[in-house]
């Protein structure tokens, strides 16, 4: 990893005509990865699911706000990520407001973009499922945020989930200045949502069941009862998640896949997985997936991206045949 200072006060980060706001010095870093790396596919995944006000994606760049705590101190700023043109690495620009937490910032960005994964280590049975070489499992910069994404995404389309998540960020998120006028909010932390009233969420269009789930998740994370990081104990955390109201097997596995960075997570009840495999019996799917251990999360990404006529949706959540909602939703 290399780091340098970017002194230009007008960071021209995007191929866009949108005006950029003035920002201070930033730190430039490189995050290396093991090629091949399917950058375009990962960026498209994130673009499809971006939270308005929190993230911005174009064909070559990703920008988002970031709020975190390190060594007992709170930091708020932004990160910009693009593919290096000269080496197998991601070029990461970090706002100076986050400079004292650089190791933590880079670890989180690395998880989001799955740079710690080596494609050469994956079993041939899994590699055979990947329609694009170097496909990655999109992670998360914040486990709680990912958990809320998963809950809000239950039984609704990707577009509807994006709308609801944007409303949550606008209503409860903090304010941040970034190089792009479209990114002005941070996603609310667990403590903020744990303290809100259920009606504060339902007025945004979130169902009562989903609001109850979000608040329960927020309370568990805010009190450190539940840890949603890659260092968490996998089976214990999945069990804790499933003990929360409204979180079942699919949601727990999805959170394990993206927030815990568990390479063997497998949402086997996902309709996209069923369509790609041409099989709808859960136990049969689990038996088929034994050959993919311990890389079932990568097999899932491959199935979602599959050009198979069974997998035309490429969802990141289960969908029904009619409305793009969950066939096996958590209750």
Q: How does pLDDT run across 141-170, given as a tens digit for each residue?
A: 999 999 999 999 998 999 999 999 999 999
157 shares a domain with 106: no
Confidence of residue 318 (pLDDT cuts 50, 70, 90): very low
174 shares a domain with 85: no
| Whole-number pLDDT of residue 120 | 92
**Per-residue DSSP letters for 83-101?**
E-SSSSEEEEEEEGGGGGG
Q: Classify burial at 138, counting beta carbons within 10 Å of its beta carbon; exposed 0-12, middle 13-18, buried 19 or more.
A: buried
78 shares a domain with 193: no
For residue 315, pLDDT over 70 is answered with: no
Q: Mean pLDDT across the chain, nearest whole number?
A: 88
For residue 20, pLDDT over 80 is answered with: no
156 shares a domain with 107: no
- Residue 8, both tokens: 């230009």
Domain boundary residue, one of 72, 103, 127: 127
- Give alpha helix (H) positions in 113-197: 124-127, 143-152, 158-172, 190-194
Confidence of residue 307 (pLDDT cuts 50, 70, 90): confident
More confident residue, 8 or 25: 25
Condensed to tens digits (0 to 9), the pLDDT of residues 172-217 reads 999 999 999 999 999 999 999 999 999 999 999 999 999 999 999 9
Per the omega criterion (within 30 degrees of 0), is the bond before 269 cis?
Answer: no
| Token pair 């304010």 in the structure block, residue | 175
Question: Is there a domain that residue 328 lies in?
Answer: no
| Whole-number pLDDT of residue 25 | 79
Rounded (5°) CA angle 195-200-205: 135
Question: Is there a domain that residue 17 lies in?
Answer: yes
Question: Is there a domain that residue 137 lies in?
Answer: no
- Which pTM does this prediction carry? 0.88
Q: Cβ of 271: how many Cβ atoms within 10 Å?
A: 24
For residue 317, pLDDT over 70 is answered with: no
307 shares a domain with 220: yes
Average pLDDT over residues 29-54: 97
Rounded (5°) CA angle 182-188-192: 150
Q: Which residues pair with 82 in a beta bridge?
A: 61, 91
For residue 46, pLDDT over 60 is answered with: yes
Check which CATH number belongs to the domain holding 46 and give it. 3.30.310.20
Question: Is there a domain that residue 225 lies in?
Answer: yes
298 shares a domain with 187: yes
Alpha-carbon 245 to chain mean position: 22
Over pLDDT 90: what percentage of the chain? 83
SS3 category, 5: strand
Confidence of residue 41 (pLDDT cuts 50, 70, 90): very high
CB 218 within 8 A of CB 193: yes
Confidence of residue 13 (pLDDT cuts 50, 70, 90): very low
Of residues 142, 270, 316, 330, which has the active-site annotation? 270
Check which CATH number belongs to the domain holding 188 and give it. 1.10.340.30
Sign of CA dihedral 170, 171, 173, 177: positive
| Whole-number pLDDT of residue 286 | 98
| Whole-number pLDDT of residue 6 | 39
Report the phi/psi class of residue 278: left, alpha or beta, with left for phi > 0 and alpha for psi in -120 to 50.
left
Average pLDDT over residues 51-67: 97
Over pLDDT 70: what percentage of the chain? 85
For residue 8, pLDDT over 50 is answered with: no
286 shares a domain with 154: yes
| Whole-number pLDDT of residue 254 | 98
CB 183 within 8 A of CB 67: no
Q: Cβ of 283: how many Cβ atoms within 10 Å?
A: 8
| Whole-number pLDDT of residue 76 | 98
Condensed to tens digits (0 to 9), the pLDDT of residues 89-108 reads 999 999 999 999 999 999 99
Count of structural domains within the chain: 2
| Whole-number pLDDT of residue 308 | 57
62 shares a domain with 107: yes
DSSP code, position 283: H
| CA atoms within 13 A of residue 140's CA, in its CB half-sphere | 25
| Whole-number pLDDT of residue 24 | 56
Average pLDDT over residues 109-121: 96
Q: Tell me if residue 58 is catalytic.
A: no
Question: Is there a domain that residue 330 lies in?
Answer: no
Nearest to 27, CA basis, from 103, 113, 114:
103
165 shares a domain with 40: no
Question: Is there a domain that residue 323 lies in?
Answer: no
Q: Which residues pair with 74 in a beta bridge?
A: 69
Question: Is there a domain that residue 61 lies in?
Answer: yes
For residue 314, pLDDT over 50 is answered with: no
For residue 320, pLDDT over 90 is answered with: no
120 shares a domain with 156: no
For residue 1, pLDDT over 80 is answered with: no
**Domain span holding position 179:** 143-311
Average pLDDT over residues 9-30: 51
202 shares a domain with 288: yes
CA 171 to CA 187: how far, in whole Å? 10
272 shares a domain with 234: yes
Question: Is there a domain that residue 317 lies in?
Answer: no
Average pLDDT over residues 272-277: 94
For residue 29, pLDDT over 70 is answered with: yes
């Amino acid at each position: 990893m290399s780091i340098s200072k970017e002194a230009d006060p007008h960071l021209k980060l995007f191929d866009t005509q949108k005006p950029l706001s003035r920002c201070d010095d930033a730190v430039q870093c490189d995050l290396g990865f093991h090629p091949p790396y399917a950058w375009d596919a990962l960026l498209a995944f994130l673009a499809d699911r971006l939270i308005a006000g929190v993230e911005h994606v174009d064909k070559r760049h990703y920008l988002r706000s970031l709020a975190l705590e390190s060594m007992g101190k709170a930091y708020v700023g932004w990160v910009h990520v693009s593919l290096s043109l000269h080496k197998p690495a991601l070029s990461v620009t970090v706002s100076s407001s986050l400079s004292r937490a650089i190791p933590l910032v880079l670890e989180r960005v690395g998880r989001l973009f799955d740079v710690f994964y080596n494609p050469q280590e994956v079993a041939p049975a899994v590699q055979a499922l990947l329609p694009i070489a170097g496909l990655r499992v999109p992670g998360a910069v914040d486990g709680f945020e990912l958990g809320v994404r998963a809950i809000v995404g239950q039984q609704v389309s990707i577009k509807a989930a994006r709308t609801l998540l944007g409303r949550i960020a606008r209503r409860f998120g903090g304010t941040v200045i970034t190089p792009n006028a479209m990114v002005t909010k941070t996603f609310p932390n667990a403590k903020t949502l744990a303290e809100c009233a259920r009606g504060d969420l339902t007025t945004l269009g979130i169902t009562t069941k989903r609001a109850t789930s979000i608040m329960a998740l927020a309370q568990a994370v805010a009190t450190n009862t539940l840890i949603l990081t890659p260092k968490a104990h996998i089976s214990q955390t999945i069990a804790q998640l499933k003990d929360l109201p409204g979180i079942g097997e699919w949601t727990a596995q999805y959170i394990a896949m993206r927030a815990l960075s568990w390479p063997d997570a497998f949402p086997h009840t996902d309709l996209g997985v069923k369509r790609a495999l041409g099989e709808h019996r859960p136990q049969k799917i689990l038996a088929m997936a034994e050959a993919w251990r311990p890389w079932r999360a990568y097999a899932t990404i491959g199935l979602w991206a599959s050009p198979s006529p069974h997998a035309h949706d490429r969802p990141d959540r289960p969908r029904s045949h009619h409305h793009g909602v969950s066939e096996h939703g958590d209750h």
